[in-house]
Amino acid sequence: SNKSVLRMMGMLDAFSTTLHVDAITDGEQIMKVVDDVQAFTEAETAEVRAALKGSTLTMTALGQDVNLCIGVKKVFMLIEMARQEEEGRAAKFLYSLYEECRYATA
């Protein structure tokens, strides 16, 4: 959440603590979230892991790489969106992650 927005809405005082969480910029950090949430099958998790190398997401189907830079809350949202798919959930997650990171670093 954005602290300045909460302040403008007069809601900042409703929270006793605010924490700054750096953006995720490493594939292992994303895999920690993916593993903890357990939203994907083993094969889907392996597909996600294979696309993440260090600070880069490789989209083989697009022939492009993108540097990782995304908030943890957004990673949770993308996982939940992918979870709703009947098939191709890992591909949906990876493409959504690619799009988010592509625009975050553009």
Write out pLDDT tens, residues 48-89: 999 999 999 998 877 889 999 999 999 999 999 999 999 999
DSSP annotation of 9 reads T
Asked whether the predicted pLDDT for residue 91 surpasses 90, the reply is yes
Nearest CA to 81 out of 37, 36, 15 is that of 37
Asked whether the predicted pLDDT for residue 105 surpasses 80, the reply is no
The reported pTM is 0.82
**In terms of pLDDT, which residue wins out, 64 or 92?**
92
pLDDT at residue 88 in the model: 95
72-83 and 27-37 helices, crossing angle to 10°: 50
pLDDT at residue 66 in the model: 94
With contact defined as beta carbons under 8 Å apart, do 12 and 6 qualify? yes
Contacts 24+ apart (CB under 8 A), 83-92: 83/39, 83/40, 89/39, 89/40, 89/44, 90/40, 90/43, 90/44, 90/45, 90/47, 90/48, 91/47, 91/61
